[in-house]
């Protein structure tokens, strides 16, 4: 069970709701028939808003986020597959400049619901708990699809919202390589966005795709506690409002670290932080999160 906790600690990827997530062990090998429940809290400070089309500047926001999530593993075409769902609730407050005037902002509401489906194409067959106990990871190649569903709070007359009022999808490919107790991982994917036709009234906002590249170096201790150093780069995302270009492209770097430890049979904690290393616009914030996870088998 403790070995399973080591692998599952990042399966839900809850913090992806904040934008460009940093989640190690996303394509880890796991037994089928496993369920995971998670509850997390995150605190962020800085500019978490990425919409350069808004007539605002100098974001300085403090954000509190609660996230509930569920994940399940199963076999598909003889391969390990998984589905996960997460729903965040955010409360934020702070100051911005709107057309040069200092303005205070506060907002609270649900974010968009996020669904994730993934399959390990190579190196991780579908296994029950007995077979998984004898399995040793080598190289894993996986694919996933993330869908953000616009269920969050959105007011078309507000400059900051907790929902986006648009669909978004992200296909991603990931590779994970184990060498003794070390794991090296690299993911690459692209976010595609549907238009928002209620932008600041009844304008139409369109955003070009955002390319992302993410890497992790992870070490597992003998008690299955693990540490990871994380980094991501994302680029693109030009905004257009009613056909007119607004704002600059993304060209942002974020770095951080993750620590996960089992606390009892089937229970684990995960502590994570990441910071903005370089940002042309948006997502220039510091964040820390703590998540509790419980796993069980049907």
Mean pLDDT per block of 10 residues along the chain (298 residues) reads 57 50 89 96 82 65 94 96 96 79 85 96 95 92 97 88 93 96 96 93 91 95 92 89 80 92 94 81 82 92
Radius of gyration over alpha carbons of the chain, in Å?
Answer: 19
**Number of separate domains in the chain:** 1
Range 225-228, long-range pairs (CB < 8 A, 24+ positions) = 225/6, 225/259, 225/260, 225/261, 225/262, 226/6, 226/9, 226/25, 226/259, 226/260, 227/257, 227/258, 227/259, 228/24, 228/25, 228/257, 228/258, 228/259
What is the structure's pLDDT at 154? Answer: 93
The DSSP bridge partners found for residue 187 are: 174, 214
What is the structure's pLDDT at 110? Answer: 95
What is the structure's pLDDT at 16? Answer: 45
Q: Per DSSP, which regions of the chain are E strands?
A: 34-47, 56-76, 79-98, 101-110, 113-122, 139-149, 168-179, 182-193, 196-199, 203-207, 210-220, 226-236, 239-241, 244-246, 250-264, 267-278, 284-297
> Residue 82 sits in which domain range?
2-55+64-297
What is the structure's pLDDT at 230? Answer: 96
What is the structure's pLDDT at 13? Answer: 53
What is the structure's pLDDT at 15? Answer: 46
The DSSP bridge partners found for residue 121 are: none
Alpha-carbon span 48 to 161, nearest angstrom: 11
CATH code where residue 176 lies: 2.40.160.40
What is the structure's pLDDT at 17? Answer: 42
pTM here?
A: 0.90
- Residue 222 CA from chain centroid, whole number: 28
């Amino acid at each position: 069970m403790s070995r399973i906790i080591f692998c599952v600690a990042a399966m839900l990827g809850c913090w992806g709701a904040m934008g460009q997530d940093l989640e190690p062990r996303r394509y880890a090998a796991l037994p089928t028939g496993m369920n995971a429940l998670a509850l997390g809290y995150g605190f962020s400070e800085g500019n978490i808003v990425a919409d350069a089309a808004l007539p605002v500047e100098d974001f300085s926001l403090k954000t509190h986020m609660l996230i509930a999530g569920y994940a399940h593993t199963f076999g598909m075409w003889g391969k390990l597959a998984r589905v996960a769902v997460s729903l965040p609730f955010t409360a934020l407050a702070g100051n911005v400049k709107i057309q040069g005037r200092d303005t205070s902002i506060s907002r609270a509401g649900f974010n968009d619901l996020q669904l994730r489906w993934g399959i390990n194409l190579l190196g991780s067959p579908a296994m029950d708990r007995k077979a998984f106990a004898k399995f040793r990871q080598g190289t894993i190649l996986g694919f996933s699809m993330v869908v953000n569903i616009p269920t969050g709070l959105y007011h078309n007359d507000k400059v900051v919202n907790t929902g986006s009022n648009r669909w978004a999808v992200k296909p991603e490919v990931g590779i994970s390589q184990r060498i003794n107790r070390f794991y090296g991982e690299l993911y690459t994917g692209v976010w595609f966005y549907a238009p928002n036709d209620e932008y600041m009234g009844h304008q139409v906002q369109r955003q070009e795709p955002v390319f992302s590249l993410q890497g992790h170096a992870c070490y597992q201790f003998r008690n299955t506690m693990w540490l990871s150093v994380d980094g991501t780069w994302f680029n693109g995302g030009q905004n257009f409002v009613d056909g007119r270009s607004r704002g600059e492209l993304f060209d942002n770097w974020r770095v951080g670290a993750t620590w996960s430890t089992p606390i009892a049979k089937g229970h684990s904690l995960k502590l994570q932080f990441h910071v903005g290393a370089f940002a042309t616009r948006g997502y220039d914030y510091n964040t820390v999160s703590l998540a509790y996870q419980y796993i069980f088998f049907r």
